[in-house]
Amino acid sequence: MTKLAVLGGSPVRDTKVNPWPKWPVWDEKEEKAILEVLNSGVWSYNGPKELEFNKSFAEFTGAKYAIAAANGTVTLQMALEACGIGIGDEVILPGLTWQATAATILDVNATPVLVDVCEDTWCIDTKEVEKAITPRTKAIIPVHLYGSFADMDEIMRIAKKHNLWVIEDCAHKHGGEWNGKKAGSIGDIGSFSYQLSKHLTAGEGGSVITSNFELYEKLDALRNCGRRPEPESASKADKGEGVYFDAGNFYQSGNYRITEFQAAILVEGLKRLPAQNKVRDENGIYLSSLLESIPGVMPMRRDKRETKEAYFNFAFRYNQAEFKGLPVQKFRAALTAELGIEVGASYTPLNKCSLYVPHTKPARHKLSEEYWAAINPERFELPVCDKIHYEGSACIHHKILMGTKADMDLVAASIRKVYDNAENL
Ligand SMILES: Cc1ncc(COP(=O)(O)O)c(C=O)c1O
C-alpha cells in the first residue's frame, strides 16, 4: 500500500513537476488594456472601460442594468439600501456564508436573521426561511454557496407571498443558470464579487445587477457619493426608459466606485469566463461522478433546474464513520498533502464565526438594548451548518477544475488513497 504523503510518502500529484493551473488568468490583452488606461489619464469615475464592462456584464447576466463597484461587500450594502432596508427591519440569510452577507445587514442598521441550510447543497433551507418570517421581515438574501444554487423557485414563491425583496448573493456563482436564467437576475438585485479567488477577478471589485429602473437609479447614486446617474451613462444603460433624477435629487451615500484599471481587467476576464466556466463545469461534473464510487465522500446535489452549473470551489461532503472514523480535519490534511493544494473547511457558521462579532462595536451597533440582543449571533441555532463545518466539509479552489480529465482522475485517486490508508492516520 502506498504511504500517504502526510506520513512522508510520495504525493499523488507532485506540484513541482506538475503544477495546478494558475489563477488568476491573464495575458497580453490585460497588459495592453491596463497601459491604455494608464496612458489615457482616466483612472476612475465612469470611464470608458467601466461603462463597457457594465454593458457587457448586463448582457452576460441578462439583467437590464449592471453597476460595478469597489467590492462585493459594498454591493450588498448598496442593494440593501436601494431596497430601503434599515432600522426595524429583519433580513433572512443562511448561517453558512462569508461574514459580509450578514455584516452589511448590520451596517444598514437592520437585523440579520440566520437560518439553517440544506445538508446536500449547503444553501439556505427554504423551510427554515418560512419559519423565520415575522411582520418585520423585509428581505431574503440567498447565497449560491461554492457554486451550488439556492432553490430560487421556492425563494421567489415565499418572497411574493410575503412581499419581500430578494437580493441574490452571487459572489460564488458568476454565470450559473437556474431554469435558463442567470444567477443574480432572478431576484430583485444580484450582487457579485471580483475578489482574487472568484470566477471573475480584478483583485478586488464587485457588481450589482437589476432589471428594475428605480433600483438601478438608486444603486448608481449609492455607489457614487449619492450623485444622480449621469444622463449620458444612464441613457446608454437604460436605452430611453424611465425618468432620471432631477438635478438636486441626491442620495446620502459614500464613494464605492471601482477604478478604471479594475474595469479594464474585468472587460478582458469576462470574455474568457464562459469558456472557463464550461471547462470547470465539465470537470466538476466528471469529478462528482468519480466520487460516487468512493465510500464516505459525496458530491453536492445538483438540481435538474440548474441549466448551467458555474462551479466555484469544488466542495464535497465527508462522512467520518464511512472513513473508518478518520476525523475530517485529518482527512483534509492528508488530501492537501497528496494534491499539493489546500483542501479547506466550509465557512464557519455565523453564530460561531470570529469575523462576525457585532458586539465588538457598541459605538456603531448598540442602537438600543432590544437591537443589541437581536443582533447577537449566538441566539441562533444552526445544527446543519455546524455538522457541515465541523464534521463534513471539504473545499478546493476552482483552479483544480481548470485542468484536464486526467487531473480529475488524480483528485479521485488521492481521495481513494486516503480512504485506503485511513487507519494509519
Ligand atoms: C458569499 C460572499 N458574499 C460576499 C462576499 C464579499 O465580497 P468581497 O470580498 O468582494 O467584498 C464574499 C467574498 O468572499 C463571499 O464569499
Q: Could you read off the pLDDT of 43-57 as tens digits, one per residue?
A: 998 999 999 999 999
The Å distance, Cα 254 to ligand 1 centre, comes to 19
The Å distance, Cα 287 to ligand 1 centre, comes to 26
Looking at the chain, how many residues does it have?
425
pLDDT above 80: residue 228:
no
The Å distance, Cα 355 to ligand 1 centre, comes to 13
Out of 74, 78, 91, 98, give the residue to mutate to test ligand 1, the one with the largest number of ligand atoms within 8 Å of its CB.
98
Residue nearest to atom 8 of ligand 1 (CA): 72
* Res. 231 pLDDT band, cuts 50 70 90: low
Nearest in space to 15 (alpha carbons), one of 232, 321, 337: 337
pLDDT above 60: residue 244:
no
Ligand 1 and 98: CB distance under 6 A = yes
Cβ-proximal residues to 306 (8 Å cutoff; 6+ apart), any chain: 149, 176, 177, 178
User: What is the mean pLDDT of the segment spanning 82-101?
Assistant: 98
Q: Under a CB-based contact definition with an 8 Å cutoff, are residues 244 and 234 in contact?
A: yes
Grid cell 488513497 — which residue? 417
Q: Is the peptide bond before 24 cis (omega within 30 degrees of 0)?
A: yes
pLDDT at res. 248:
55
The Å distance, Cα 160 to ligand 1 centre, comes to 27
Cβ-proximal residues to 127 (8 Å cutoff; 6+ apart), any chain: none
Nearest in space to 401 (alpha carbons), one of 289, 303, 293, 312: 312
Nearest in space to 30 (alpha carbons), one of 194, 312, 279, 271: 271
pLDDT at res. 1:
54
The Å distance, Cα 193 to ligand 1 centre, comes to 6
What are the phi and psi torsion angles at 208 (to 5°)?
Answer: -115, 145
Domains, in order of start, for the chain: 5-23+272-347+386-424 (3.90.1150.10), 28-268 (3.40.640.10)
Which residue type sits at 13?
R
Using alpha carbons only, give the angle 74, 77, 80 rounded to the nearest 5 degrees. 150
Pull the grid cell for residue 260: 478604471
pLDDT at res. 230:
63
For 371, what's the count of Cα atoms within 13 Å in the CB-facing half-sphere? 20
Query: How far is the C-alpha of 356 from the C-alpha of 358, rounded, in Å?
Result: 6
Grid cell 437580493 — which residue? 167
* Res. 10 pLDDT band, cuts 50 70 90: very high
Grid cell 464534521 — which residue? 391
Ligand 1 and 193: CB distance under 6 A = yes
What are the phi and psi torsion angles at 406 (to 5°)?
Answer: -60, -35
pLDDT at res. 28:
98
| Chain mean pLDDT for the chain | 94
pLDDT at res. 236:
45
- Please give the biggest Cα pair distance in the chain: 75
Cα 384 off chain centre by? 20
Index of the ligand 1 atom closest to the CA of residue 347? 16
The Å distance, Cα 424 to ligand 1 centre, comes to 38
The distance in angstroms from the start CA to the end CA of the chain is 14
pLDDT above 80: residue 188:
yes
pLDDT above 80: residue 191:
yes
The Å distance, Cα 197 to ligand 1 centre, comes to 10
pLDDT at res. 413:
97
Ligand 1 and 56: CB distance under 6 A = no
Ligand 1 and 169: CB distance under 6 A = yes
Going by DSSP bridges, is the β-strand pair 177-178/306-308 parallel, antiparallel, or unpaired? antiparallel
Q: Under a CB-based contact definition with an 8 Å cutoff, are residues 20 and 347 in contact?
A: no
Query: How far is the C-alpha of 311 from the C-alpha of 394, rounded, in Å?
Result: 14
Ligand 1 and 97: CB distance under 6 A = yes
CB count within 10 Å of CB 336 equals: 19
The Å distance, Cα 246 to ligand 1 centre, comes to 34
Query: How far is the C-alpha of 313 from the C-alpha of 166, rounded, in Å?
Result: 24
Ligand 1 and 170: CB distance under 6 A = no
What are the phi and psi torsion angles at 354 (to 5°)?
Answer: -70, -10
pLDDT at res. 238:
45
The Å distance, Cα 191 to ligand 1 centre, comes to 9
Specify the DSSP element, H or E, that contains 336.
helix 328-339
* Res. 352 pLDDT band, cuts 50 70 90: very high
Summarised one tens digit per residue, pLDDT across range 121-132 is: 999 999 999 999
pLDDT above 50: residue 242:
no
Ligand 1 and 395: CB distance under 6 A = no
